[in-house]
């Protein structure tokens, strides 16, 4: 009897390794897919671990460039964080992983796919909306929603019983890494009074041990996207990594927040996004310079809805694509150079320049007389706008 083939989104971590063995015990031929989106050596470890568990078909694909170009940069053009703080690093990676996994499913002619997300989190929604977008008839296996391995002790016992290698240095929280950010959730972090130890943070230095001198640099943007660092062109991956490094050694981009999950549960997340934090800061100041007030205000409203769609897993939805097109239209003005200083966790703007600048010192100065603006006109403006208040 032929086994049913299934493609698993595989990280190489404890959870998805247990899922490999669990699926095999349930008569599936497991095919693993690991997306290389900047998690470093974990990709190599995932391959070796899958081989040790007798996985015959192992797919690994370098998606870093596509991740930056087609997911990170389009999101950054929105200039908004989810619930004021979160830069959506995990949410952005899931639609890309879903798309590539479904390509493998199509190539391998499988009717089943699987993921390692829990029934309490957002990722189950993000993955499965992506799977269904590319194949509405696909059968999805989400082990965390159906098996009886519902505690960490049971998970570890399953590993012992099935000879699954356990990393003795496994930390007491969940880590998700990519080139955009690191996220830390669960375990000790579920206690909101728990202060993470400094060695938890892998991609930023604390203000106490970050470098003792400020770093000055310029960022050049074209149509809203970063294209140069210090007036030098780099390939998109190298550019992003250099900015990540600058932010990391200067203590930029570390947050510890309570967020609202789509399913209604509040959760605690600790995130590091050094490069993205710098880009977002610079972009906002450039948009302040070049966008008309009405466009600026409307874009801000649209971007709020956009951030909800991305966070909640609707990357492939028609409404997200529609809002993306509106946001992208505004970016034809977002061209220029921003000079920044970073030091001990603080980003400071030094100056800004754009050929599309709408700033005119004569219009705003108290010491200049503008040819296009008369202060006497303000009386009429106020009188008209006060009508609905005084009538």
- Give me the pLDDT at residue 18, please: 95
- Share above pLDDT 90 across residues of the chain, in percent, rounded to a whole number: 84
- Give me the pLDDT at residue 387, please: 86
- Give me the pLDDT at residue 376, please: 77
Class of domain 4-77+90-176: alpha beta
Take residue 242 and report the two structure tokens written for it: 């250099």
pLDDT digits (tens, 9 = 90+) for 99-142: 999 999 999 999 999 999 999 999 999 999 999 999 999 999 99
pLDDT digits (tens, 9 = 90+) for 323-365: 999 999 999 999 999 999 999 999 999 999 999 999 987 666 6
Give the list of residues 6+ apart from residue 203 with CB closer than 8 angstroms, or none: 181, 182, 244, 248, 253, 272, 274
Count Cβ atoms within 10 A of the Cβ of residue 365 and give its class: 0-12 exposed, 13-18 middle, 19 or more buried: exposed
- Give me the pLDDT at residue 61, please: 98
* Half-sphere exposure in the Cβ direction for 5 (13 Å, CA): 14
Domain boundaries, the chain: 4-77+90-176, 177-353
Mean pLDDT for the stretch of residues 143-153: 88
- Give me the pLDDT at residue 152, please: 76
User: Residue 1 above 70 pLDDT?
Assistant: no
- Give SS3 for 320: helix
Lowest mean pLDDT among 76-85, 159-168, 281-290: 159-168
User: Residue 369 above 90 pLDDT?
Assistant: no
- Give me the pLDDT at residue 382, please: 84
Residues catalogued as catalytic? 15, 94, 123, 174
Give 380 or 271, the one with higher predicted confidence: 271
* Strand residue runs (E) in the chain: 4-9, 28-36, 57-62, 112-114, 139-141, 174-177, 182-185, 215-222, 225-229, 232-233, 254-260, 266-272, 336-343, 346-353
- Give SS3 for 149: coil
Asked if 121 and 130 touch (Cβ cutoff 8 Å), the reply is no
User: Residue 367 above 80 pLDDT?
Assistant: no
- Give me the pLDDT at residue 62, please: 98
- Give me the pLDDT at residue 258, please: 98
Single out the residue of 118, 128, 183 nearest to residue 152, CA to CA. 118
Count Cβ atoms within 10 A of the Cβ of residue 137 and give its class: 0-12 exposed, 13-18 middle, 19 or more buried: exposed
- Share above pLDDT 70 across residues of the chain, in percent, rounded to a whole number: 95
Q: What is the mean pLDDT of the chain?
A: 94
Sequence length of the chain is 391
- Give SS3 for 342: strand
Mean pLDDT for the stretch of residues 168-196: 89
- pLDDT band (50, 70, 90) for residue 170: low
Which stretches of 61-218 are DSSP H helices? Answer: 64-67, 73-76, 89-108, 123-134, 152-161
- Give me the pLDDT at residue 189, please: 96
Assign a CATH topology to domain 177-353.
3.90.1260
Mean pLDDT for the stretch of residues 222-250: 98
Cα–Cα distance list, 135 to 99, 101, 109 (Å)? 10, 11, 12
């Amino acid at each position: 009897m032929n086994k049913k083939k299934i493609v698993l989104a595989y990280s190489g971590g404890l959870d998805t390794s247990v899922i490999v063995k669990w699926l095999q015990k349930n008569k599936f031929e497991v095919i693993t897919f690991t997306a290389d989106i900047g998690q470093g050596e974990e990709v190599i470890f995932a391959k070796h671990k899958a081989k040790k568990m007798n996985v015959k078909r192992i797919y690994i694909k370098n998606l870093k460039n596509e991740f930056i170009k087609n997911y990170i940069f389009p999101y950054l053009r929105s200039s908004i964080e989810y619930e004021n703080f979160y830069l959506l690093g995990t949410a952005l990676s899931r639609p890309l992983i879903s798309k590539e996994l479904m390509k493998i499913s199509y190539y391998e002619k499988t009717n089943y796919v699987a993921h390692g997300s829990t029934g309490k989190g957002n990722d189950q929604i993000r993955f499965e909306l992506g799977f269904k977008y590319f194949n509405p008839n696909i059968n999805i296996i989400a082990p965390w929603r159906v098996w009886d391995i519902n505690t960490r002790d049971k998970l570890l016992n399953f590993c012992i019983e099935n000879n699954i290698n356990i990393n003795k240095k496994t930390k007491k929280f969940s880590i998700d890494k990519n080139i955009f950010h690191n996220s830390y959730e669960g375990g000790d972090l579920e206690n909101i009074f728990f202060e993470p130890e400094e060695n938890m943070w892998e991609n930023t230095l604390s203000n106490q041990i970050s470098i003792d001198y400020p770093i000055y640099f310029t960022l050049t943007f074209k149509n809203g996207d970063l294209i140069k660092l210090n007036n030098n062109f780099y390939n998109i991956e190298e550019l992003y990594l250099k900015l990540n490094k600058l932010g990391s050694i200067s203590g930029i981009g570390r947050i510890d927040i309570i967020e609202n999950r789509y399913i209604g549960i509040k959760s605690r997340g600790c995130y590091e996004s050094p490069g993205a934090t710098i880009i977002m800061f610079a972009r906002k100041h450039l948009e302040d310079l070049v966008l008309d007030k009405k466009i600026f205000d409307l874009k801000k409203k649209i971007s709020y809805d956009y951030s909800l769609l991305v966070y909640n897993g609707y990357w492939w939805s028609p409404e997200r694509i529609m809002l993306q097109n509106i946001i992208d239209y505004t970016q034809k003005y977002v061209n220029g150079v921003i000079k920044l200083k970073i030091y001990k966790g603080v980003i400071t703007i030094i100056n800004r320049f754009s050929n599309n600048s709408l700033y005119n010192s004569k219009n705003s100065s108290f010491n200049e007389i503008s040819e296009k603006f008369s202060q006497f006109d303000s009386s009429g403006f106020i009188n008209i706008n006060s009508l609905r208040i005084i009538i």
